[in-house]
Amino acid sequence: MKPTFIHRLINSPFEDPSLFVRILWERRALLFDIGCIDRLEARELQKITDVFVTHTHIDHFIGFDTLLRALPRRKIPLRVYGPSNVADCVEGKLRGYTWNLIKEYPLKIEVFSVKENTIITSSFHAENCFKRIDNSIIHFDGTLLRESLFTVKAIPLDHQIPCLAFSLEEEFHININKTALTEMGLPVGPWLSELKKALRECKSGDTEFMISHKRYTLDELRHVSVITKGQKVSYVTDVSINDENIKKVIELVRNSDTLYCEAYFLEKDRERAIERFHLTAKTAGMIARDAGVKNLVVMHFSPKYKDQSDTPENEALREFKHSTF
């Protein structure tokens, strides 16, 4: 079974956190945080349609320039989601340059700033020399982006400043039953993507497909698909170590296939973690275990642990695998 989301951290856990998620079957990718992204290839940068920013500390936002530099000729808009000040930060970045020769370019940047139970939308279009236009205010019910293939949810957390955590959830996964295809004498081809799309969009049973010059309805083809549980990937970083945050994070990441979570400090430095508004590795492991996560990937380690034998990763995984029963 091919997963829909192919995900990886761009950097080592001692460097800026940034998660790159390629969406299979769509020439498209999502980015969670935009720290240094210099390791992404040009073709990967071109695929990024949506950037989810936890907060705008420099290690989570400095890569915006790299993306901006790559995209002016792209016709597909770039959407940026983040906490209440994210539009100000995008504006600040754009104001750092001179744009008198940009009017002919197609790039449109749409920004979604989450403030309590609202999302404020702002536009920065190349044709207006990236001048800021604040648009509508919409209700925020926990979902930032809903498409037929997947949903991205966010929760606001405390990191002394507001900080978002995200979950990416595939609605359901569609596999193709090759035996059923063979029995019907149907070839593999692009029509399978169209079939999956029609199933996701709950199109009517008489929707037609042309396969090898023959007409089939959706109802006739339905049984070549096998529906299974969708993938869930969560991303949590820069979170103060307090009960309220931890409770909210466990709810958000529950039953994730993979949780990417910060493990900035070791438990022995818990006091420092509290002072710096970060989690400890042990807490990251506990969150993943209590939320029933399948796979925990820890990231964003303090550089002071670079040459130590007991790494934040060891501590987090020990706690994650430690049964409380």
Looking at beta carbons only, is 54 or 256 nearer to Zn ion? 54
Q: How many residues bind Zn ion (CB under 5 A)?
A: 3
**Per CB under 5 A, 238 contacts Zn ion:** yes
Looking at beta carbons only, is 195 or 273 nearer to Zn ion? 273
Sorted by sequence, the CB contacts under 8 Å of residue 211 that are 6+ apart come out as 186, 187, 189, 191
Contact range with Zn ion by CB under 5 A, out of 23-31, 51-59, 212-220, 239-247:
51-59
Selection from 87, 93, 85, 35 nearest residue 60 by Cα: 35
**Per CB under 5 A, 59 contacts Zn ion:** yes
In the complex, minimum distance from the CB of residue 238 to Zn ion, in angstroms, rounded to a whole number: 4
In the complex, minimum distance from the CB of residue 277 to Zn ion, in angstroms, rounded to a whole number: 7
Contact range with Zn ion by CB under 5 A, out of 186-194, 211-219, 231-239, 290-298:
231-239
**Per CB under 5 A, 16 contacts Zn ion:** no
CA terminus-to-terminus distance, the chain: 33
**Per CB under 5 A, 91 contacts Zn ion:** no
Strand residue runs (E) in the chain: 5-9, 19-23, 28-32, 48-52, 78-83, 108-115, 118-125, 132-139, 143-146, 150-159, 161-170, 172-176, 208-211, 214-217, 225-229, 232-236, 258-262, 295-299
DSSP-assigned states of every residue in 195-221: HHHHHHTT--TT-EEEETTEEEEHHHH
Sorted by sequence, the CB contacts under 8 Å of residue 69 that are 6+ apart come out as none
Compute the distance between CA of residue 68 and CA of residue 58 in angstroms, rounded to an integer: 16
In the complex, minimum distance from the CB of residue 145 to Zn ion, in angstroms, rounded to a whole number: 23
In the complex, minimum distance from the CB of residue 236 to Zn ion, in angstroms, rounded to a whole number: 12
| Among the listed residues 11, 14, 26, 57, the single contact to Zn ion using CB under 5 A | 57
In the complex, minimum distance from the CB of residue 9 to Zn ion, in angstroms, rounded to a whole number: 13
Looking at beta carbons only, is 224 or 239 nearer to Zn ion? 239
The residue ranges that bind Zn ion (CB under 5 A) are 57, 59, 238
